[in-house]
Amino acid sequence: MLISQSSRFAELQSRIHGQVVTEGDEAWASSRQSFNVLHEQRPAAVVRVANADDVAETIRYAAQRGLRIAPQSTGHNAVPIDSLEDALLVRTDALQEVRIDVGARRARVGSGVRWADVADPASEAGLAPLAGSSRTVGVTGYSLGGGMGWLARKHGLQTNALTAVELVTADGELRRIDHDNETDLFWAIRGGGGNYGVVTALEFELFEAPEVYAGALFFPYERAAEVMHTWHELVAAGLPDEITTVARVYNFPPLPELPEFLAGKSFTVVQAAYLGNERDGADLLSPVMELGPDMNTFGMVDPAALGHLAMDPPDPVPYASSARLVSNPTAATIDAFVGAAGPGSGSQLVSVELRSMGGALARRSPGAGARATLAGDYAMFAVGVVMSPDAYGEVLGQAEGVSKALTPWDAGTRYANFEEKSVDTRLFYDEDTFRLLRALRTEWDPSGLFLANHEI
Which residues here bind ligand FAD, judged by CB under 6 A?
35, 71-78, 92, 111, 132-134, 137-138, 140-142, 144-149, 193-194, 198-199, 312, 417, 452-453
In the complex, least distance from residue 238 CB atom to ligand FAD, rounded to whole angstroms: 23
Helical spans, DSSP H, in 125-277:
139-145, 152-155, 183-192, 224-237
Nearer to ligand FAD, 115 or 219 (CB): 115
Q: How far is the CB of 60 from ligand FAD (least distance, A)?
A: 17
Nearer to ligand FAD, 224 or 311 (CB): 311
Q: Which of 98, 91, 132, 134 lies closest to 113 in space, CA to CA?
A: 98
The residue among 84 and 338 lying less far from ligand FAD, judged by its C-beta, is 84
Residue 149 CB, nearest approach to ligand FAD (Å)? 5
For residues 37 and 263, which CB has a smaller minimum distance to ligand FAD in the complex? 37
Task: With H, G, I as helix, E, B as strand and everything else as coil, classify residue 235.
Answer: helix
Which alpha helices (H) appear in 259-391, and where do they start and end?
278-284, 286-289, 306-309, 331-341
Closer residue to ligand FAD in complex, CB, 149/191: 149
Backbone Cα Rg of the chain = 22
- Report whether 306 contacts 212 (CB < 8 A): yes
| Cα gap 148→456, rounded to integer Å | 21
**What is the rounded CA–CA span in Å between residue 159 and residue 415?**
13
**Closer residue to ligand FAD, CB minimum distance, 71 or 359:** 71
Helices (H), 255-371: 278-284, 286-289, 306-309, 331-341
Cβ closer to ligand FAD: 47 or 224?
47
Integer Cα distance of 265 and 286 in angstroms: 26
Q: Taking the mean position of all CA atoms in its chain, how far away is CA 267?
A: 24
Using CA atoms, how far apart are residues 132 and 294, in angstroms rounded to an integer?
26
3-state secondary structure of 71: strand
Three-state SS at 314:
coil
* Minimum CB distance to ligand FAD smaller for 223 or for 371: 371
Q: How far is CA 453 from the centre of its chain?
A: 12
Decide: 211 and 302 in contact? Cβ < 8 Å: yes
Q: How far is the CB of 254 from ligand FAD (least distance, A)?
A: 20
Taking the complex as a whole, the smallest distance from the CB of residue 159 to ligand FAD amounts, in Å, to: 9
Q: How far is the CB of 389 from ligand FAD (least distance, A)?
A: 19
CB 173 to ligand FAD: min, Å: 15
Closest CB to ligand FAD among 146 and 359? Answer: 146
Taking the least distance from each CB to ligand FAD, the nearer of 149 and 215 is 149
Query: How far apart are CB 294 and ligand FAD at their closest, in Å?
Result: 25
From 237, 296, 236, 238, select the one nearest 272 (Cα to Cα). 296
From the list 99, 72, 110, 92, the residue with the least C-alpha distance to 16 is 92
Beta strands in 124-265 (DSSP E): 127-128, 162-168, 174-178, 198-205, 207-208, 212-220, 243-251
- Going by C-alpha positions, the residue among 424, 209, 397, 392 that lies closest to residue 304 is 209
Kindly list the distances between the CA atom of residue 262 and the CA atoms of 226, 253, 257, 266, 384, in Å, as whole numbers in the listed order.
21, 8, 10, 8, 15
Closest CB to ligand FAD among residues 336, 357:
357
Minimum distance, C-beta of residue 75 to ligand FAD, in the bound complex (Å): 5
By C-beta, is 225 or 427 nearer to ligand FAD? 427
Least separation, in Å, of the C-beta of 17 and ligand FAD? 17
Shortest Å distance, C-beta 270 to ligand FAD: 17
Residue 26 half-sphere exposure, CB side, CA atoms within 13 Å? 0
To ligand FAD, the closest distance from the beta carbon of 429 in angstroms equals 15
